[in-house]
Chain A
Amino acid sequence: DVKVTQSSRYLVKRTGEKVFLECVQDMDHENMFWYRQDPGLGLRLIYFSYDVKMKEKGDIPEGYSVSREKKERFSLILESASTNQTSMYLCASRPRTSGTVNYGYTFGSGTRLTVV
C-alpha cells in the first residue's frame, strides 16, 4: 500500500513563528499536493508539485510556500504563522497521469495545526 506520512498529527505554534509541515510518500509518486480543510469550507488546494524542484500555486497560496528538493518529500512552510492558519493540513500524492490512465490520490492522516 502507498503510504503518505505527515510528520506531526498535532502541532501548536505561536503567531509569527516559521512553521514547517513535512510530508513523505514511499511510492515514487511524481505529483504531490497540500490542502487545508476547515469546517464549512471543505478542502482547499494550497500548493502542488508535479516533480522535484517544481511547484505550482493552488487556490489559496498566500502566506505559504513549499519545497520539493527530493521526490518523496514535499514540505509546506508557513513563513509567519497567523491565527487564521489554524486548520487541518492534508498532504496527498499520486503517480503522473499517463495517457488514458488516471490514478487516485493517496492522502496522509493530516496535521492539525493550532496557531496561538
Chain B
Amino acid sequence: LAKTTQPISMDSYEGQEVNITCSHNNIATNDYITWYQQFPSQGPRFIIQGYKTKVTNEVASLFIPADRKSSTLSLPRVSLSDTAVYYCLVSGNTPLVFGKGTRLSVIA
C-alpha cells in the first residue's frame, strides 16, 4: 500500500501557482520525499526530492515541515504543458510504491 495521501485531482488556470499537498503520517527516519510527474503514455519523470525544510530547483519547490508528516509541491506559474499526474512518494532503500497521484489539469 502507498504510504501517502494526496488529492485525486486539481484544476488551475495558466499562470497561477499550484500547491499540491501530500500527507505521509508514517514516514520513517530514513525516508526521503520524492515527487514525480507523468504525462500520458510516458514513464514518470523525477521532479524534486527532499528530506526536510525547503528544496528548490528549476522546476518546482518542495516544502517539508519539521515533523515531516506532510509535504507540499509548489509549481510556479503553471502552463498548459504542466497538465499531468503528480505522484508523491516516500522511501528509503525499499522500492517506490506509487499511489494514484494527483491529476492536475491546467486550463487556459
Contact = CB atoms under 8 A, between A and B. Distances in A.
Contacts, number: 50
Contacts of B45: 107
A42 B98 contact: yes
A48 interface: yes
> How many interface residues does chain A have, given as a range?
20 to 34
Contacts of B44: 43, 90, 105, 107
B35 to A, nearest CB: 9
A33 B44 CA distance: 13
A53 to B, nearest CB: 18
Given A33-B95, A48-B95, A107-B43, 14 more contacts: A4-B43, A42-B2, A45-B96, A45-B97, A58-B95, A59-B97, A88-B41, A92-B43, A104-B49, A105-B36, A105-B44, A109-B42, A109-B43, A110-B41
B100 A42 contact: yes
Interface of A: 4, 33, 35, 42-45, 48, 58-59, 88, 90-92, 97, 102, 104-110, 112
Contacts of A104: 34, 36, 46, 49
Interface residues of B, number: 22
B32 A102 contact: yes
Given A33-B95, A97-B92, A42 B101 contact: yes
B92 A102 contact: yes
B41 A112 contact: yes
Interface in B5-38: 32, 34, 36
10 contacts: A4-B43, A42-B98, A48-B95, A58-B95, A88-B41, A90-B44, A97-B93, A102-B49, A107-B45, A110-B41
Contacts of A59: 97
A87 B71 CA distance: 31
Nearest to B85: A42
Contacts of B51: 102
Nearest to A102: B32
By Cβ-Cβ distance, the 7 closest A-B pairs, closest first, are A107-B43, A104-B46, A43-B98, A102-B32, A90-B43, A97-B93, A42-B98
